Amino acid sequence: MSAAGLRAEGVTVRLKGHAVPVLARASLDLVPGEVVGVCGRSGAGKSTFLHVLAGLLPWARPAVVEGAVILNGEDITDLDPGQRAHLLSSCLDRPDAQLFLATPRHELAAARRLHGRTPLLDEIGAALGLEPLLDRRVTELSSGERQRVALAVALAAAPRPVLLDEPTVHLDEDGVAGLLRVLAGVRRQGGAVLLSEQAGWRLAGVVDRWLELKGGTLVPCPAPQPPALTPPPGGNGGVILEASALTVVRGGRTLFEGAALSVRAGEVVLLSGPNGAGKSSLARVLAGHAAAAGGDLSVTSGRIRRPSGLALLLPEANVQLFGDSVAGEMALARVDLDAAAEVLRAHRLEQLSGRAPWTLSRGERQRLVHAALDALQPSLMVVDEPGQGLDPVALADLTDLMGARAAAGRAYLIASHRRELAAFAHRHLVISEGGLAEAPP
């Protein structure tokens, strides 16, 4: 094995409050010119492994970390995150938390100062479609647009090693295609990328090999495949959500003008569209949460008729978790213990009931918020990007549960760019030129 590249040797991580190690002698060799993908069940420790390589553990979270991290033959185990930032780059599971400056142009300029004018910098910006975003405020960008910027900043470090955690989670199909071009370019330049990805099929053709994190160790595995999803029966109840002639403005930009839609009891409706088209903004407006988007989202005209019981699942689970434990989160939903236990079992969270929400994986936090809202038994659930952090099995389990709820009369409006969810929906609405159009079956 050449000394060039990034190596993890026998990494073991014991987190405070965990009975067993999250990682148990996990090892990896990442050589120049390759892209390696890591997959595994939600909560297996994929993000934890990337955090160790980036130096965030044990600096950012109490943990006992054993093993070694070696870069180009040099042991960097004792370097803190700031010291490692000049040696490798990362875009972790909250890309918005890695953007600190006013505009994407400022972020890219800072990346140039940190990494120098690396060979791919201009190509990265073009491939990820950043030109129209450069002078917009970062706070006005959609989740997908922010992820594009954060990925560009991280990948500007190539050919230094780059760590990416769920790099496609907020990207539309054009964004994924751009990312594939960038990763191929990094590979050509002799760079190396280690990425964790639940929807690995979206990166087909660019990942050289896949490893599964299982039982705390990394083992070779086939490329991940999408789950097979089918819509639930029914979907033909009475109209419970109706909007007409909507004009929606965010940050001075008109997202929708004269938009209309309806959702029936027992129906699953998918809402999709390109990054920045307004999926999340429309979801918040329909749920009556426009003010929660930061004060720059408003409805200037139109009418919305909502059901009395409506719940909104936001794309960032952390902002909807308030309890000191999983059980405490359910208690805040004001349901009795038996009902709470039943809901936790339905969402496969019962074994985590004593854990603090902040110690859960991204997928587990997403499932917990869904469980807490599920316990309220809303007549309509508006779900923004339900697949975040969920492996294919967990996503299939979630859609099975949602399908059972829909068969009993609950309606779902799902905002997502994930194509596989179209097979689960009774209807598919696509945002196009500020309006909504029915996608062909």
Residues 6+ apart with CB under 8 A from 339: 375
For 311-354, write each residue's pLDDT tens digit.
Answer: 999 888 888 899 999 999 998 888 888 888 999 999 999 988 88
- Is the peptide bond preceding residue 159 cis, with omega within 30 degrees of 0? yes
> Are 175 and 262 found together in one domain?
no
> Are 305 and 189 found together in one domain?
no
Which residue, 179, 12, 198, is CA-closest to 93? 198
Helix (H) or strand (E) holding 26: strand 23-30
> Are 272 and 193 found together in one domain?
no
Q: Are 106 and 161 in contact (CB under 8 A)?
A: no
**Cα 322 to chain centroid, rounded:** 20
Cα torsion 388, 391, 396, 397: sign: negative
Q: Is 233 contained in some domain?
A: no
> Are 301 and 328 found together in one domain?
yes
**Residue 55's CATH number:** 3.40.50.300
Q: Reduce the secondary structure of 286-341 to three states and give it as a string.
A: HHCCHHHHCCCEEEEEEEEECCCCEEEECCCHHHHCCCCCHHHHHHHCCCCHHHHH
Q: Are 52 and 76 in contact (CB under 8 A)?
A: no
Q: Is 231 contained in some domain?
A: no
- Is the peptide bond preceding residue 58 cis, with omega within 30 degrees of 0? yes
Per-10-residue mean pLDDT of the chain, 441 residues long, equals 79 85 95 96 92 90 92 94 90 83 94 80 90 93 93 92 95 96 94 95 95 96 92 86 88 85 94 91 85 57 87 86 91 86 91 88 90 93 89 92 94 92 93 85 69
Amino acid at 258: G
Measured between alpha carbons, how far is 258 from 247 in angstroms, rounded to an integer?
6
> Are 75 and 179 found together in one domain?
yes
3-state secondary structure at position 194: strand
Amino acid at 393: V
Q: Which two tokens stand for residue 385?
A: 């990007």
Domain that holds residue 355: 239-438
Instruction: Single out the residue in 170, 186, 221 at which a domain terminates.
Output: 221
Q: At what angle do helices 143-155 and 104-115 cross, to 10 degrees?
A: 20
Per-residue DSSP letter, 165: E
Which residue, 276, 263, 270, is CA-closest to 131? 276
- pLDDT given at position 292: 38
Instruction: Single out the residue in 221, 248, 274 at which a domain terminates.
Output: 221
- pLDDT given at position 135: 95
- pLDDT given at position 296: 65
Q: Is 15 contained in some domain?
A: yes
3-state secondary structure at position 48: helix
> Are 200 and 272 found together in one domain?
no
> Are 173 and 311 found together in one domain?
no
- pLDDT given at position 96: 75
Q: Is 383 contained in some domain?
A: yes
Measured between alpha carbons, how far is 240 from 264 in angstroms, rounded to an integer?
5
> Are 158 and 296 found together in one domain?
no
Residues 6+ apart with CB under 8 A from 158: 89, 118, 119, 120, 186, 189, 191, 193
Amino acid at 296: D
Q: Is pTM, for the whole model, over 0.85? A: yes
Q: Is 229 contained in some domain?
A: no
State the residue for tokens 């936001």. 314
> Are 336 and 251 found together in one domain?
yes
For 32-62, write each residue's pLDDT tens digit.
Answer: 999 999 999 988 999 999 999 999 988 888 8
Counting the structural domains of the chain, the total is 2
Which residue, 138, 411, 430, 387, is CA-closest to 282? 430
- pLDDT given at position 290: 67
- pLDDT given at position 250: 82
- 252-275 exposure pattern, b = at least 16 Cβ within 10 A, e = fewer: eeebbbebebebbbbbbbbbbbbb
Measured between alpha carbons, how far is 194 from 6 in angstroms, rounded to an integer?
9
> Are 293 and 213 found together in one domain?
no
Q: Is 226 contained in some domain?
A: no
The beta strands (E) that lie in 338-440 are given as 380-384, 411-415, 427-432, 435-438
Measured between alpha carbons, how far is 396 from 401 in angstroms, rounded to an integer?
9
Measured between alpha carbons, how far is 182 from 125 in angstroms, rounded to an integer?
9
> Are 45 and 99 found together in one domain?
yes
- pLDDT given at position 65: 94
For 186-240, write each residue's pLDDT tens digit.
Answer: 999 999 999 999 999 999 999 999 999 999 999 999 999 999 898 888 778 899 9
Q: Is 228 contained in some domain?
A: no
- pLDDT given at position 117: 72
Q: Is 1 contained in some domain?
A: no
Instruction: Single out the residue in 194, 221, 248 at which a domain terminates.
Output: 221
> Are 140 and 60 found together in one domain?
yes
- pLDDT given at position 293: 40
Per-residue DSSP letter, 231: P
